[in-house]
C-alpha cells in the first residue's frame, strides 16, 4: 500500500469525497434515485444490502437476533479477505469498525451515508484500501419498529427528507436509553452482537436538535475523563485532532456537540455532553471501545447532512485503518489494566470551575416578543454570522468511587440480573453446594426518585448506603462474579447501587424498597413493652431519639415502628440490597 503523509491523505480523500456522485454507479440507493430527497424504507435498505452481498463476496449480511418489531436485527459485514470469522480476523490484527444506524429512525442520515459508503468501499479502488486493516460492520436499521412507522411530521424542526421513521420503537422505547436496562429485544440482540464483535471503534449516527449555528456536523466522542487511561490520551491527542482536521478539509467542518437547551445560546458557552452507560457510546466505553455519536444539524438540508455523515464515517474509518495496530494494542493493554484495577469511578460530576475555549461559528441571537405568547422568545439571525471564542466546559471529575470486591455474590432468584450479565459475556461461577460465607451487605439509607416516567421506569438517584458485615447462606445455583475480568467496568457500574446507571437506579430491586409485613399497633403494644424490658439498649436508643426529635416524641406509631425496626421481628429483606460483596 502506498504511504501518504497525514496531510496528503486528508487532501486526497477530501477530493474523493467531493466527487461522490461519480462513485459507484453500479447500485443506486433510494437517496440517489430521489435526487437526495428521500430515505430508504426498511425494505429498500435491506434489499440494497442483499444486492450488495450478492454482487460482492466481501459482503455478508447476517440476522443477529429478534427485535420488538418482530423483524430480525441485521448486521452487514465487509471483509476484504472474505473471512467472516471474527475471532480469526482479530487474530490477524484486523480492527473492527461498527456503525449503528436508525436508533432514532427520524434521523436517517446514517442510513443513507452507510449505504453509499459500503458500496464505495467496494467499487472505488482508492477507498477499497481502507479495508486493508479494518473490517466494517453496519447495522442498517437498529430501531426497525420506528423505521416502519413512517411519517412527515414528527421531526417538526428538521429539514427533510420527505418521509422518515419515528423515534420510539415498536413498544415506544427510546433505544438510546436502553443499553443498560435492556428492556427491549433490540437491546438484547445488540448486546449479543456487540460482545461477539468486540469492536475497536463504534459510531452511532444521529441528527441533532437544539441551537442554530453554521456547522452541518457536530460530534460526541465518549467523554474523555470517563474513558480514562491510555485510550483517553490517544483519543485526545490523536483521534480527535485528526477527525476535526479531516472534516474541515472535506468541507464539512464540525464542532463539539452543542449541549444547550431553552433560551441559552452557544456564545454563553456550554458543557460537554457526558454519555452515561444508558447511551450507545457510554455503553461501548464500558468495554474500552472508542465510541462516537455523529450529530448533524437538523436545519441543514438532507443532502448536506448525508454528505457530512459520509465524511464523518470516512474520516474515522481512514484513521482506524491507518492506526489499526495501535488501536488494537491500546485496547488490549487497557483490558489487562482494567482486569487488575482496584478502584472504579461510578459517578461523575462536571467541574464548572475549569474550562477550555473553542472558536465557535454561530449566528447572533435576538430575543423579540413572541406574537403568540406575548413573552420573550429566542430567534437566530442568519444574516449575522460570527466566529468567536467561547467557553467549553469539558472536564469531569469523580463524584463516587468504589473499591472493587473479589466477587459479587448474586442469589439465583435475581435472574434478571444474572441474565443481563450473561448477555454481556460476564464470566460467572455457580455455587455447587450449600455454604455460609461472610460478606459485605449494603443497606439503602436513602435515595431519591424521578417524579416523571422515564423510558418505562422511575429511576433513582442520590443513593446513600450503609455497609455491614453479615453471614449469608448460599444455595446451589447462586452466582459468584469474579471482578478480575476485562469487562470489570460493566460489572461494577451496574452492580454498585450508587453508579449513575446501576441496576438499582433502574428499578431492578424496587421490591426491597417496600415492606411485606408489619404490625397492628393494638397487638404490638404489649409485645413492644416486653422487647424494651428484654433489650435495654433498644429502650435507651428510643429515649435518646425522643429527646432529640420533638416530632418523633409526639408520634406514638413512629415510636412503635422504631421498636419494631430494632427488634428481631423486622423483616431482613427491607432496604437490604440483595447483591453482596465478597473478598477473600
| pLDDT tens-digit map of 192-250 | 999 999 999 999 999 998 999 999 999 999 999 999 999 999 999 999 999 999 999 99
Say whether pTM exceeds 0.75. Answer: yes
Task: Give domain status of residue 571, yes or no.
Answer: no
Q: Residues 491, 543: one domain?
A: no
Task: Give domain status of residue 3, yes or no.
Answer: no
Task: Give domain status of residue 10, yes or no.
Answer: no
Q: Residues 552, 507: one domain?
A: no
| Statement: residue 313 has pLDDT above 50 | yes
Residue 25 confidence (pLDDT): 53
Cβ(420)–Cβ(379) under 8 Å? no
Q: Supply 404's cell numbers.
A: 472493587
Q: What is the mean pLDDT of residues 159-184?
A: 99
Tell me which residue has cell 452543542.
258
| Statement: residue 121 has pLDDT above 70 | yes
Mean per-residue pLDDT over the chain, rounded: 96
Q: What is the CATH number of the domain that holds 325?
A: 3.40.630.10
Residue 20 confidence (pLDDT): 47
In the chain, the number of structural domains is 3
357-393: pLDDT as tens digits: 999 999 999 999 999 999 999 999 999 999 999 999 9
Q: What is the mean pLDDT of residues 95-116?
A: 99
Q: Residues 149, 39: one domain?
A: yes
| Statement: residue 573 has pLDDT above 60 | yes
Q: Which domain holds residue 39?
A: 25-340
Where residue 52 falls among pLDDT bands split at 50, 70, 90? Answer: very high
Q: List strands edge to edge, sheet with 356-366.
A: 270-271, 379-393, 356-366
Task: Give domain status of residue 508, yes or no.
Answer: yes
| Angle, in degrees to the nearest 10, between helices 415-423 and 185-197 | 40
| Statement: residue 435 has pLDDT above 50 | yes
Task: Give domain status of residue 6, yes or no.
Answer: no
Please list, in sequence order, all residues whose beta carbon lies within 8 angstroms of the beta carbon of residue 399, skipping any fewer than 6 positions away.
345, 347, 348, 349
d(CA 553, CA 422): 50
Q: What is the mean pLDDT of residues 169-174?
A: 99
Task: Give domain status of residue 379, yes or no.
Answer: no
Q: Residues 238, 316: one domain?
A: yes
d(CA 226, CA 224): 5
Q: Residues 454, 471: one domain?
A: yes
> Maximum CA pair distance of the chain?
92
Taking Cα atoms as reference points, which of 31, 63, 300, 333 lies closest to residue 189?
63
Q: What is the DSSP string of 473-540?
A: EE-TT-EEEES-STTHHHHHHHHSTTSTT-TTTTTTTGGGGS-S----HHHHHHHHHHHHHH-HHHHH
Q: Which residues pair with 75 in a beta bridge?
A: 62
Neighbouring C-beta atoms of residue 555, cutoff 10 Å: 14
Where residue 23 falls among pLDDT bands split at 50, 70, 90? Answer: very low
Cβ(38)–Cβ(107) under 8 Å? no
Q: Residues 504, 552: one domain?
A: no
Q: Residues 408, 536: one domain?
A: no
Q: Residues 548, 452: one domain?
A: no
Task: Tell me 183's DSSP state.
Answer: -
Q: Residues 476, 328: one domain?
A: no
Phi, psi of 388 (to 5 degrees): -150, 160
Q: What is the DSSP string of 27-73?
A: S--HHHHTTT-----HHHHHHHHHHHHHH-TTEEEEEEEE-TTSSEE
Among positive and negative, which fits the CA dihedral 458, 462, 466, 470?
A: positive
Residue 26 confidence (pLDDT): 73
Task: Give domain status of residue 347, yes or no.
Answer: no
Q: Residues 336, 437: one domain?
A: no
Q: Residues 432, 543: one domain?
A: no
Where residue 13 falls among pLDDT bands split at 50, 70, 90? Answer: very low
Where residue 8 falls among pLDDT bands split at 50, 70, 90? Answer: very low
Q: What is the mean pLDDT of residues 60-79?
A: 99
Give whole-number Cα distances, 254 to 219, 243, 251, 540, in Å.
7, 9, 9, 67
| Statement: residue 157 has pLDDT above 70 | yes
Boundary residue ending a domain (290, 313, 340): 340
Task: Give domain status of residue 388, yes or no.
Answer: no
Taking Cα atoms as reference points, which of 407, 479, 477, 474 lies closest to residue 434?
474
Instruction: Give the containing element (helix H, strand E) for 99.
Output: strand 95-100
Q: Residues 272, 194: one domain?
A: yes
Amino acid at each position: 500500500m502506498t504511504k501518504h503523509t497525514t496531510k496528503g491523505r486528508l487532501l486526497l480523500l477530501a477530493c474523493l469525497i467531493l466527487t461522490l456522485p461519480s462513485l459507484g454507479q453500479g447500485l443506486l440507493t433510494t437517496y440517489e434515485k430521489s435526487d437526495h430527497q428521500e430515505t430508504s424504507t426498511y425494505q429498500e435498505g435491506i434489499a440494497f444490502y442483499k444486492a450488495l452481498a450478492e454482487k460482492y463476496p466481501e459482503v455478508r449480511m447476517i440476522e443477529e437476533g429478534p427485535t420488538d418489531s418482530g423483524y430480525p436485527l441485521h448486521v452487514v459485514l465487509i471483509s476484504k479477505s472474505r473471512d467472516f470469522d471474527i475471532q480469526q480476523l482479530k487474530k490477524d490484527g484486523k480492527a473492527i469498525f461498527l456503525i449503528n444506524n436508525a436508533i432514532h429512525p427520524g434521523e436517517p442520515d446514517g442510513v443513507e451515508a452507510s449505504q453509499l459508503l459500503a458500496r464505495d468501499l467496494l467499487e472505488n479502488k482508492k477507498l477499497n484500501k481502507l479495508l486493508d486493516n479494518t473490517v466494517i460492520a453496519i447495522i442498517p436499521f437498529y430501531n426497525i419498529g420506528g423505521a416502519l412507522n413512517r411519517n412527515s411530521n414528527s421531526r417538526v424542526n428538521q429539514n427533510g427528507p420527505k418521509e422518515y421513521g419515528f423515534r420510539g420503537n415498536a413498544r415506544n422505547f427510546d433505544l438510546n436509553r436502553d443499553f443498560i436496562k435492556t428492556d427491549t429485544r433490540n437491546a438484547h440482540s445488540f448486546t449479543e452482537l456487540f460482545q461477539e464483535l468486540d469492536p475497536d471503534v463504534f459510531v452511532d449516527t444521529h441528527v441533532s436538535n437544539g441551537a442554530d449555528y453554521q456547522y452541518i456536523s457536530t460530534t460526541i466522542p465518549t467523554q474523555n475523563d470517563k474513558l480514562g487511561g491510555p485510550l483517553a490520551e490517544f483519543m485526545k491527542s490523536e483521534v480527535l485532532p485528526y477527525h476535526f482536521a479531516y472534516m474541515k478539509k472535506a468541507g464539512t467542518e464540525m464542532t463539539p456537540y452543542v449541549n444547550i437547551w431553552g433560551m441559552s445560546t452557544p456564545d454563553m458557552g456550554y458543557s460537554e455532553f457526558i454519555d452515561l452507560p444508558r447511551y450507545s457510546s457510554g455503553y461501548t466505553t464500558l468495554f474500552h471501545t472508542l465510541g462516537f455519536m455523529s450529530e448533524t444539524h437538523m436545519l441543514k438540508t438532507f443532502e448536506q447532512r448525508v454528505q457530512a455523515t459520509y465524511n464523518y464515517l470516512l474520516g474515522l474509518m481512514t484513521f482506524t485503518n491507518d492506526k489499526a495496530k495501535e488501536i488494537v494494542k491500546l485496547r488490549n493493554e487497557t483490558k489487562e489494566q482494567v482486569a487488575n484495577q482496584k478502584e472504579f469511578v461510578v459517578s461523575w460530576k462536571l467541574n464548572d470551575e475549569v474550562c477550555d475555549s473553542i472558536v465557535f461559528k454561530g449566528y447572533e441571537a435576538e430575543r423579540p416578543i413572541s406574537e403568540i405568547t406575548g413573552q420573550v422568545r429566542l430567534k437566530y439571525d442568519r444574516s449575522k454570522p460570527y466566529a468567536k471564542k467561547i467557553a467549553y466546559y469539558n472536564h469531569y471529575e469523580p463524584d463516587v468511587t468504589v473499591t472493587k470486591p473479589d466477587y459479587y455474590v448474586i442469589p439465583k432468584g435475581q435472574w434478571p440480573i444474572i441474565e443481563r450479565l450473561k448477555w454481556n459475556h460476564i464470566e460467572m461461577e455457580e455455587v455447587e453446594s450449600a455454604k455460609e460465607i461472610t460478606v459485605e451487605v449494603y443497606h439503602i439509607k436513602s435515595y431519591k426518585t424521578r417524579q416523571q416516567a422515564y423510558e418505562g421506569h422511575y429511576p433513582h438517584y442520590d443513593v446513600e448506603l450503609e455497609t455491614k458485615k453479615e453471614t449469608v447462606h448460599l444455595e446451589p445455583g447462586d452466582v459468584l462474579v469474579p471482578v478480575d475480568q476485562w469487562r470489570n467496568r460493566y460489572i461494577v457500574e451496574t452492580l454498585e447501587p450508587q453508579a449513575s446507571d446501576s441496576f438499582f437506579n433502574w428499578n431492578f430491586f424496587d421490591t426491597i424498597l417496600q415492606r411485606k409485613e408489619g404490625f397492628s399497633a393494638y397487638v404490638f403494644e404489649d409485645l413492644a413493652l416486653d422487647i424494651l424490658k428484654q433489650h435495654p439498649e433498644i429502650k435507651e436508643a428510643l429515649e435518646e431519639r425522643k429527646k432529640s426529635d420533638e416530632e418523633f416524641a409526639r408520634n406514638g406509631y413512629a415510636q412503635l415502628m422504631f421498636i419494631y425496626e430494632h427488634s428481631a421481628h423486622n423483616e431482613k429483606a427491607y432496604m437490604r440490597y440483595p447483591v453482596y460483596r465478597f473478598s477473600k
